[in-house]
Structure 1
Amino acid sequence: MEQPRLVASDVDGTLLTPREEVSPRTAGVVGRVLAADVPFVLATGRPPRWVPKIAEQAGLDGLAVCANGAVLYDIGRDEIIWAHTLDPVRLGDIVAAIDAALPDCTYAVERVGGVHDDATFIAELSYSHPWPEGPNVGLSRAETLGFPATKLLVRHTGMTSGEMAAGIGEVLDGQVDVTYSTNNGLVELAVHGVTKATGLADVAERLGVDRRDVIAFGDMPNDVEMLTWAGHGVAMANGHEVALAAADEVTAPNSEDGVAQVLERWF
């Protein structure tokens, strides 16, 4: 590949170290990418409200594809450009179908809201977080599912995410997109056809960059579409087997600045 004209990177397990930090080496190469007038785009499962801290560490103020492609966020302007949402009726139907097949699931949603609105994450009181998060806001399932959401999170503490995704995929049969970024009993559902790849394709079109000139980095099943869409997809050595299989190249793990090691070829 020639020097890429657009760089896209997943955040957790990819750009960040295992301590959830942007290392000095990685921050340095990000700076050189930007100095060469090449956009560096975050493409993450995180909602927009979790992006500014990472962007500050990396020195980024451009566009970020958030919520697995459901939201496009302008970091510098602190503004959501667009969002794809599941409406309350659709959410209710999905949850009913999942409950019939996988009992004991609990639910949470990410709503659009404002970037700094604490009420964008709503969860049932019985929902347990697989990562640090604030207290649950929802008082009931009806309240949790009562407004449009960019992402439905389904939690089952007795199953792996892979097992959940397989079961939910059978029940919903392509009605929504099912993916996961951790194997700790959590899957994420979005509008059918919405992935990091579709979000990144919109960014590339806005910037006038052909997909062949895009390099993308990722490590989990929610990165697969992006890795295959980009001209050159790079998986982290610490990544899930499906990400490794989808990539054109495997780099060092995030603990060894794998993203920086690849980008240093050109920057």
Structure 2
Amino acid sequence: MQKPRLIASDIDGTLLDPFEQITVRTAAMIRRVIAADTPFVLVSGRPPRWIPPVADMAGLDGYAVCANGAIVYDIAAARVLSVHGLDALVLHDVVHALARVLPGIKVATERAEPGPDSAGAPFATEPGYRNPWGDAESNVRPRAEVLGHTATKLLVRHEKMTSEEMSLAATELLGDAVDVTFSTNRGLIEISAPGVTKARGLAEVAELVGVARDAIVAFGDMPNDIEMLRWAGHGVAMANAHAEVLAAADEVTAPNSQDGVAMVLERWF
């Protein structure tokens, strides 16, 4: 393709190396992209509150797509621009259905963060929920309360299954009533409102900055990146990516441990 007009990158397993850092080579490439007046957009399953440390490392102050496309976030203003959530009734119905076919699940919800004056905790877990990334952040509540507010993302955990096994069962059961994906294979699936994917969130950002989809290069490594890679003009999978991501991409680059993002962008910047 010709020189892209927008770069979109997943964070974990893609932009960050295995030590959760941005390497010198990749950081230099991001600076060159920005110097060329080309937006560099973070597109992640992370909530907005987990974006600033990465944005600071990368020197970014534009837009981020969070919660697998459910939120568009203005980094510089620390402001949520749009939210596509699951209401409480849907959350209860989904969990009730899943509990019948996946006994032993534990659930958590992410909620939108309108700003620093927002009331209520943005993350809630029922007793027994264990986060694959550690439990430093927890807000334990009864299941009914966890599911009692509109959420940007429902997280369903089963410590004796893989995420892939859970995703297959959930997709067969729930169909297109919701969007089911995963970003780790450690027994965790992530559920969003129907049609809410990273592709949808990135499309919102592309419209904000006036860039056509065929002028976008996107990078990713896990199934929650597939729709984005297919939607963008050029979708790039990391060599360390899930097999389904490798199959969906237009190109496979080096792994995140070897500056795969920078390697591709050096063609144009």
TM over 0.5: yes
- Amino acid aligned to 1:236: M
Unaligned ranges ≥5, structure 1: none
- Amino acid aligned to 1:131: W
Aligned pairs for 1:184-199 (under 5 A) are 184-199=186-201
Partner of 2:160: 158
The 8 Å contact of residues 14 and 236 in structure 1, kept in 2 or not, is answered as: yes
Deviations 1:90-114 (A, max 9, x none): 1000000000111000000001134
Partner of 2:134: 132
CA-based RMSD? 1.1
| TM-score using structure 2 length | 0.97
Partner of 1:180: 182
Hey, which bits of structure 1, 4+ residues long, moved more than 2 A? 113-118, 132-136
Rounded to whole Å, the distance in 2 between the matches of 1:191 and 1:243 is: 22
Shift of 1:89: 1.0
Rounded to whole Å, the distance in 2 between the matches of 1:139 and 1:223 is: 30
Rounded to whole Å, the distance in 1 between the matches of 2:24 and 2:115 is: 27
Rounded to whole Å, the distance in 1 between the matches of 2:161 and 2:187 is: 5
Partner of 1:15: 15
Aligned pairs for 1:81-160 (under 5 A) are 81-114=81-114, 119-160=121-162
- Amino acid aligned to 1:196: K
- Amino acid aligned to 1:145: L
Q: Pick the aligned partner of 1:266 from 245, 258, 268.
A: 268
Partner of 1:74: 74
The 8 Å contact of residues 164 and 185 in structure 1, kept in 2 or not, is answered as: yes
Q: Report how many residues are paired.
A: 267
- Amino acid aligned to 1:71: I
**Kindly tell me: are residues 145 and 224 of structure 1, through their superposed partners in 2, closer, same or farther at Cα, counting changes over 3 Å?**
same
Rounded to whole Å, the distance in 1 between the matches of 2:35 and 2:222 is: 29
Aligned pairs for 1:28-39 (under 5 A) are 28-39=28-39
Shift of 1:138: 2.8
Rounded to whole Å, the distance in 2 between the matches of 1:224 and 1:113 is: 26
The 8 Å contact of residues 49 and 115 in structure 1, kept in 2 or not, is answered as: no
Rounded to whole Å, the distance in 1 between the matches of 2:115 and 2:199 is: 22
- For residue 57 of structure 1, give the secondary structure of its aligned residue in structure 2: helix
Rounded to whole Å, the distance in 2 between the matches of 1:155 and 1:221 is: 17
Partner of 2:45: 45
- For residue 19 of structure 2, give the secondary structure of its aligned residue in structure 1: coil
| TM-score using structure 1 length | 0.98
Shift of 1:135: 4.5
- For residue 176 of structure 2, give the secondary structure of its aligned residue in structure 1: coil
**Kindly tell me: are residues 8 and 173 of structure 1, through their superposed partners in 2, closer, same or farther at Cα, counting changes over 3 Å?**
same
- For residue 121 of structure 2, give the secondary structure of its aligned residue in structure 1: helix
- For residue 18 of structure 1, give the secondary structure of its aligned residue in structure 2: coil
Q: Pick the aligned partner of 2:219 from 217, 220, 226.
A: 217
Partner of 1:64: 64
The 8 Å contact of residues 235 and 244 in structure 1, kept in 2 or not, is answered as: yes
